[in-house]
Amino acid sequence: MQWRALVLGLVLLRLGLHAVLWLVFGLGPSMGFYQRFPLSFGFQRLRGPDGSGPVGPSGGPAWLHRPRHGTEERLETPPGQGPGPGMCGPAHWGYALGGRGCGPDEYERRYSSAFPPQLRAQMRDLARGMFVFGYDNYMAHAFPQDELNPIYCRGRGPDRGDPSNLNINDVLGNYSLTLVDALDTLAIMGNSSEFQKAVKLVINTVSFDKDSTVQVFEATIRVLGSLLSAHRIITDSRQPFGDMTIEDYDNELLYMAHDLAVRLLPAFENTKTGIPYPRVNLKTGVPPDSNNETCTAGAGSLLVEFGILSRLLGDSTFEWVARRAVKALWNLRSNNTGLLGNVVNIQTGHWVGKQSGLGAGLDSFYEYLLKSYILFGEKEDLEMFNAAYQSIQNYLRRGREACNEGEGDPPLYVNVNMFSGQLMNTWIDSLQAFFPGLQVLIGDVEDAICLHAFYYAIWKRYGALPERYNWQLQAPDVLFYPLRPELVESTYLLYQATKNPFYLHVGMDILQSLEKYTKVKCGYATLHHVIDKSKEDRMESFFLSETCKYLYLLFDEENPVHKSGTRYMFTTEGHIISVDKRLRELPWKEFFSEDGERDQEEKFAHRSKSQELRIINSSSNCNRVPDERRYSLPLKSVYMRQIDQMVGLI
């Protein structure tokens, strides 16, 4: 009997050792939705079912070199080499990313249980505290400058000594950017006293009559969008966030938005294609030495803010120039693939950058095609989006048809040549993490789940998203992380779609990573290096306007955004806009027909900056959201019906 006890002891010891190794080395959580969809967070080189790693023409895995359209090969699992118990098969991201920790029990244990209300409240308060810490330190150490340097507790404005420092000067315009950008976050968090104080500060201290050369895109999404959002919050008759009204408010924020937009209009002049110059000086117009090259996202993502302004003012000019730019870019797409490039010459229409992808240079162009349709109800915007989305699926998406089932490799969206659809490089960038959230809006929730899992896996490895990640080398190409919100945004929207507690755990992971790795003396700092966690002394304004906002909303189930009965949409900078019938009023409809193009061109050419500002009553027309807005099974048809309801305001 003694030898039996000894054997039993050795067996138990071995099992215990295996359990310890399993827990320590690899194994992160996995997730399951429609079917079990496990996910591993150990990153090894991508390998085929036989461990040999099928290689494509440029050295990467073969599946990433095959477009989705046309005849597609499948990677078969050789007989006898299928996954064992607790392991991922080739149908799962966990397999492609290392194959460890894929057992359903691990997912069930860590993620499927309900997220306790007390923990949710704790995470909500932590997100609010994160915003307050960054905001208060900006106000104490940086205002009225544009940004906070959180390590040395100083303010930052434009780099006057080096005009070529576009990383700074494209964004900072000497107009208290962080304060302006944070206005609607204060309202969403219910801080009426600070919101009112901040609005009065903006009205009394911010001016756009500055000798500042800024990027048209950044000024539009960060400043113009925030002014319009705050104006709508103030004038909303229902006041869902609490009393955000301003005593004696006389549409000052709307006047400021108009003033800024007029100063941006010269970017649209003297361009042969209608695509705007990338930069303007707020006082003098387009600089004499201005660059004729611009990115597709920068030129084609102005329609939401410019369109809202036009419809609130009853003046078609702003929407018309933005829509003309979108149409000009759309008409330059490849006849073969339907794809657009990422950099174009605004005078010749020649594609300088032929890369087509979902990240930098193109991301918000796609986003605003759909969101413009949701806001304004123009069917042409939806038609362009649907065509663009089909081209993306045909040429950028690689892997099997279904995300969570079938044989073949998990899906991934890659960068290709816009004319041929051939792979151009082996990296993706962090901005692409917005795309799952966009897929939620159109009802492609299953694909959104799969793509989001890939980015979350990268976050789990580094505690941040590197600016570029090389999927062939399984390592970052560009190592910094400037506190970007895209993964948080997609996490929030996927939680709203599925109500799966997995996404609350994701949000908690992100919150804890930010607190652990980016918090410094006076705020939150950019990570210079996601591996060694060294920092840069910069806190960009989108950290308060987006990252903190989406984290807060993820955990604040009772927020008026979710409960008020008003339909809301977020701009690409995270500014909240109520979807309103008034935004569908279009008294200048004839100007957007081909017959009216010449008339509108004349109107634009002779427009005076001193033109009287006409204001339409902009109070929200709140409507009850249909019950279909919430459900546990995200069915595509239900989501498309929801968009139709939003657009039709049924």
Residues 6+ apart with CB under 8 A from 523: 133, 134, 137, 138, 148, 150, 539
DSSP-H helix ranges across 266-354: 296-300, 303-313, 317-331
Cα 42 to chain centroid distance, Å, stands at 25
Q: Residue type at 127?
A: A
Count the Cβ atoms, other than its own, within 10 Å of residue 238.
14
HSE-CB of 267 using CA atoms within 13 angstroms: 34
Q: How far apart are CA 575 and CA 221, in angstroms?
A: 9
Query: Exposed/middle/buried for 488, CB within 10 Å: 0-12, 13-18, 19+?
Result: buried
- Count helices and strands (H / E) in the chain: 25, 20
Q: How far apart are CA 246 and CA 234, in angstroms?
A: 7
CA angle 247, 250, 254 (to 5 degrees): 125
363: annotated active-site residue: yes
486: annotated active-site residue: yes
Q: Is residue 58 within 8 Å of residue 406, measured between CB atoms?
A: no
List Cα–Cα distances, 36 to 98, 109, 279, in angstroms. 17, 14, 49
Q: How far apart are CA 419 and CA 490, in angstroms?
A: 29
Which residue among the candidates 106, 147, 363, 378 is catalytic per the annotation? 363
628: annotated active-site residue: no
Q: Is residue 387 within 8 Å of residue 338, measured between CB atoms?
A: yes
Q: Which residues of 262-296 are buried (b: 16+ CB within 10 A; e: fewer)?
A: bbbbbbbeebebbbbbbbbbbeebbeeebebbbbb
Q: How far apart are CA 494 and CA 488, in angstroms?
A: 10
Residues 6+ apart with CB under 8 A from 378: 372
Q: Residue type at 487?
A: L
Q: Is residue 94 within 8 Å of residue 40, measured between CB atoms?
A: yes
Which residue among the candidates 146, 184, 218, 429 is catalytic per the annotation? 218
Count the Cβ atoms, other than its own, within 10 Å of residue 543.
32
Q: Nearest Cα to 263, choosing from 198, 175, 188?
A: 175
378: annotated active-site residue: no
Which residue among the candidates 467, 489, 537, 540 is catalytic per the annotation? 467
Q: Is residue 527 within 8 Å of residue 534, measured between CB atoms?
A: yes
Roughly what angle, to the nearest 10 degrees, separates helices 192-205 and 252-264?
50
Structure tokens at 14: 């071995």
Q: Nearest Cα to 575, choosing from 557, 561, 564?
A: 561
Which residue among the candidates 486, 556, 573, 580 is catalytic per the annotation? 486
Given the structure tokens 């909240």, which residue do they identify?
Answer: 576
Q: How far apart are CA 19 and CA 8, in angstroms?
A: 16
Q: Nearest Cα to 313, choosing from 262, 275, 258?
A: 258
Give catalytic residues, as residue numbers: 218, 363, 467, 486
